[in-house]
Structure formats: C-alpha cells, structure tokens
Chain A
Amino acid sequence: MKTIQETRRRTPLQEFRAAIRDIIPLAFGVAIYGAAFGLLAAQAGMSELQTGVMGTFVFAGSSQIVAAERLVAGAGAFAAIVAGLALNLRLLLMTASLRDEFAGRPIWQVLLGVHLTSDENWALMHAARAKGMHAGYWYLVGGGASLLLVWIVSTVLGVSFAKALPDPRAVGIDFAFTAAFIAILCNLWRGVEDFLPWAVSIGCAGALTLLTPVEPSWALAFGGVAGAAVAGIFQND
C-alpha cells in the first residue's frame, strides 16, 4: 500500500518537467529582458557569438546588463566586471540557502546546479515548496535549464534585430519581474513569525538605499542577511 508520502514524492524527471511548465510565465519575462540586453550588447560592440558565450557562461541577466552598460559608457572592462559582480553578491546567499538540495549529490550535479541558480527559478522553487509541492534539486535544474536556453536565444536574437525592438519600459514589461517577486513573496509567507525578519530586511535595504551612498546591490544583500539574522536569533524551531 502506498502512503501519502510516497504518492506525493516525484521522480527527478517529473520534477524537471513540472519546473519547465511552471517557469513559462517567468520565461516570457526573461525573453523580453534578453532581447533588451541584446540591444545593449550590440551598442557595446558585441557580436552574436560573444553574446551567446556570455549568456551561457555568465547567466546572470541584471549583471550582464549593468556590465554592458558600463562598457557602452566607456568605463573599461575592469570597472564593468566589478559593477556586474557587485550585483551578483546575492547569488552567494542563494546558493548557500540551497545546501539541503546539494547535500550528498555527486560533484557534477553541484557544479551544474550552482550555475543554473538564478533569481527566477530559485524563488519559484521555494514558492512551489511553500505550496506543498515536492520541488527540489531537479525542479531547480529544470527551471534553470529552460531559462538558460531562453536567455541565450533571446539575447542573440536581440543583437541581430537590435533596431526593431520597442523599449520595454514604454510597454510596462520591465515591471514583469517586480510583479512576479510579489507573487512569490506571498507564497513564501509562513505566518506572523516572518513579519519581523521581513520588516528588518525591507527597513535595512530601504534605509541604506535612501540614506547612504551604498550601491543598491550591497543594500539588498545586507538587508537580506539582516532579516535572516533576526529570524535566526528570535524565531523558535
């Protein structure tokens, strides 16, 4: 006889496919961003090949956008790299929070999994799990692989068709991820015990951005850590 636990547990392939299905709305947003990045990459003097290689091996949209923008501004490669990497600090915290998914896995799966960790599929995995779905390593990888493919295709097409694209801001598409993160945050709400950590996180990130010359990417990493620390100290197991 099957227990409830067994029926709800899913095979790696089922998790992988569920992630591909669930990531579709986010993949549309990524495609629009990819096209916008391609436009910028063309301005930064990058070819289709360079854009494809960058998308494959960096796979971090916002940092690619900031770095390419710095290059267009004439800041030089080094300054562009530093600006892009500062924006990726949060990835350190994201892969750190995935330790239960990576624990006990062969090294190639860890090396693949960390590379395929991006904002959208990482957040989606946590949201799916908060809804009671069985979503672990293969859910993360399924979503990440889909986004990587969409990112490469859309950025390369963006370079080729740079002139024909509308400005994402003018049609409101730039707001797609803001709305997505709002929905995901609603799913992550576990109850009143989350109020204090989230308030501290928002307060710290907001105060640092508004009141100090700190870069927004540092402000958000600091806010996230402060909120997590409050949860560690004040919550009960």
Chain B
Amino acid sequence: MTEQWWLILGLAIGTYSIRLGGYFLGAQLPSSGAWSRALTALPGSLIAALLAVILIQGGTADWLAASIALAVAMLTRSLPLTMIAGIVAVWFLRISL
C-alpha cells in the first residue's frame, strides 16, 4: 500500500474515533450542575479560543479586518454580510498596508 493510502486510512480511523469518543464522553457526564453548565458554555468558549489562535497567527491587516467584521456582525447580525465585509476588508488592507 502506498504512503498516500496509509495517510488516508490512519487519518480516517483516528478522526472518526475522536468524533465518536466525544459522543461517549458527553453521554458520561452528569446532566446537571457544574458539568452541564460547562458543556453548555463549551461552544462559545471553543470558538473564542479558535479565533484567538487564528488572529495571533495573522498580521495587522487581519486584526483590522476582524474589527470591521465584528462591527458589521454586531450591526447586521448577518452571516453572509459579515463574511463579505471581512473578505473585502482583508483584501483591501493587505494590498494597502
């Protein structure tokens, strides 16, 4: 078997195990109290961390464009408009800065 097929096999089995493992982990945790509050807060917390890591790896243009996207998101509450504003802003800022 070639290197490519080994990569596909390993990544597929590993990724599916992680996804299914999360299901079993969630099912094990208590359904009230601190554990439940933590699981409820997890999505927002995880997306906040994801954005922090992405933006730290980006430059000034990314930071400014993210501020513009944040303003558009708060004003419009619209996903497509925020995406368009962010892409246009970062494209413009990267060529001008």
**Contacts from A to B (Cβ < 8 Å):** 22, 24-26, 29, 44-46, 50, 53-54, 57-60, 63-64, 67-68, 71, 76-78, 80-81, 84-85, 88-99, 102-103, 110-111, 114-115, 117, 119, 122-124, 126-127, 131, 171-173, 175-176, 178-190, 194, 197-198, 201-202, 204-206, 209-210, 216, 219-233, 235, 237
Contacts and interface: CB of A to CB of B under 8 A. Distances in A.
A175 B90 contact: yes
A225 B45 CA distance: 8
Contacts of B42: 93, 96-97, 224-225, 227-228
Contacts of B10: 77-78, 81
A179 to B, nearest CB: 3
A58 B90 contact: no
Contacts, number: 291
A81 to B, nearest CB: 4
A185 to B, nearest CB: 5
B97 interface: no
Interface in B25-61: 25-27, 29, 32-58
A114 B94 contact: no
15 contacts: A46-B4, A63-B11, A63-B15, A64-B11, A99-B23, A127-B79, A131-B77, A179-B86, A183-B83, A185-B44, A206-B52, A221-B46, A223-B53, A228-B41, A232-B41
B19 A25 contact: no
Contacts of A57: 8, 12, 16
Nearest to A183: B82
B94 to A, nearest CB: 7
